[in-house]
Amino acid sequence: MSAQVTALVNARVLTDHGPQDGLAVLVRGDRIEAIVRADDARVTAAQRHDLKGQLLLPGFIDVQVNGGGGVLFNAEPTVDALATMGAAHRKFGTTGFLPTLITDTADVMRKALDAVDAAIEQGVPGVLGIHLEGPFLATARKGIHDASLFRLPDAEDIAAITRNRRGVVMLTLAVEEVPLDTIRQLSEAGVLVVAGHTAASYDTTRAALDAGVCGFTHLYNAMTPLGSREPGVVGAALDDPYSWCGLIVDGHHVHPAALRVAIAAKARGKSVLVTDAMPPVGADSPEYILNGQTIIARDGICQSDTGVLAGSALDMATGVRNLVNMVGLPLAEASRMASAYPAAWLGLDRTHGRLVAGQRADFAVLGEGLVVSETWIAGVRYAA
């Protein structure tokens, strides 16, 4: 017996051509069956869900989530922690995410990799893979990372990272620290190798792009800046037409003008909204422990006692609002930076990131002020 069809009606549906009224989205099981006119006979026959004039967007995909719901992935690399993080972020429209492990020991890294595999196998909503941010980074651009744990990847690391995994594997590394042959080996094995926490020159970064680096972690932050005679990592990122750039749009990590410059410089589709979220997102407490330090989120800023940024308290819905209100993007493009573009980066664009027939039924429903009121993951509705 086939699954019941649900018709999402009375919404402004964000299609590939922008927001449109008078449409209904038909959902069967975990997929979009069709998008039809509201007066289509199939809508009458379906179970109707009235969205009362709200916006229906593709669900948000966040490729950099360190924590949420009071949980830090490094501290709890478990399936239960991933479920808690996913539940916290889906309140803000996130339907898919890469739990992100910042620099840690080899043992914790392996536990994190196995936890993500198990979470995907068990169907934990939203988990798409893992992002390993370190430990193959540069001390000169360490940020909040524990530089005492930095090292070069050995054969065991490479085997663990490149083993056949259930989800996407993204790896942030310093391109001047890791040999080009290793970057090439990782990339050819299917790992999404990205540059971050790096003090590399433009030429070194360009060579790494040629070897398989496909993107940049939180562009501008923890990397060599664009200069007139030495373009640095930022210059290489903006100059390259094929790579993706993650952007933290919280008003603290990057100035709005610098965001506009990056978005204008990159080819359309290559700028991606990320949160770099920490445990306070979706939690009652603004505090968490990182590398033995107590970090407190104040006014949306997570930083150590010495003023070093320690991730963010940003959620994806706030990031989308900031792209519209702070950066000045049209809502449709802001939405794509949170859905279609990250899906393409992760190689999931055939199944995620757009409102078209055949894609997974992942939705963010936004009401007044672009605030999320409900989220759907694989056809299952969650109230915000």
Residues catalogued as catalytic = 276
HEC string of the chain equals CCCCEEEEEEEEEEECCEEEEEEEEEEECCEEEEEEECCCHHHHHCEEEECCCCEEEECEEEEEECEECCEECCCCCCHHHHHHHHHHHHCCCEEEEEEEEECCCHHHHHHHHHHHHHHHHHCCCCECEEEEECCCCCHHHCCCCCHHHCCCCCHHHHHHHHCCCCCEEEEEECCCCCCHHHHHHHHHCCCEEEECCECCCHHHHHHHHHHCCCEECCCCCCECCCCCCCCHHHHHHHHCCCCEEEEECCCCCCCHHHHHHHHHHCCCCCEEEECCECCCCCCCCCEEEECCEEEEEECCEEECCCCCEEEECCCHHHHHHHHHHHHCCCHHHHHHHHCHHHHHHCCCCCCCCCCCCCCECCEEEECHHHCEEEEEECCEEEEC
Would you say 24 is a known binding-site residue? no
Residue 253 and residue 221: Cα distance in Å, rounded? Answer: 7
Would you say 197 is a known binding-site residue? yes
Would you say 59 is a known binding-site residue? no
Would you say 164 is a known binding-site residue? no
Would you say 218 is a known binding-site residue? yes
Residue 32 and residue 38: Cα distance in Å, rounded? Answer: 15
Would you say 325 is a known binding-site residue? no
Would you say 309 is a known binding-site residue? yes
What lies within 8 Å, CB to CB, of 174 at 6+ separation is: 136, 137, 138, 141, 195, 196, 197, 198, 199, 200
Would you say 229 is a known binding-site residue? yes
Would you say 133 is a known binding-site residue? yes
Residue 340 and residue 333: Cα distance in Å, rounded? Answer: 10
Would you say 255 is a known binding-site residue? no
Residue 173 and residue 99: Cα distance in Å, rounded? Answer: 16
Would you say 338 is a known binding-site residue? no
Annotated binding site for substrate: 144, 221-222, 229, 253, 309-311
Annotated binding site for Zn(2+): 133, 197, 218
Annotated binding site: 133, 144, 197, 218, 221-222, 229, 253, 309-311
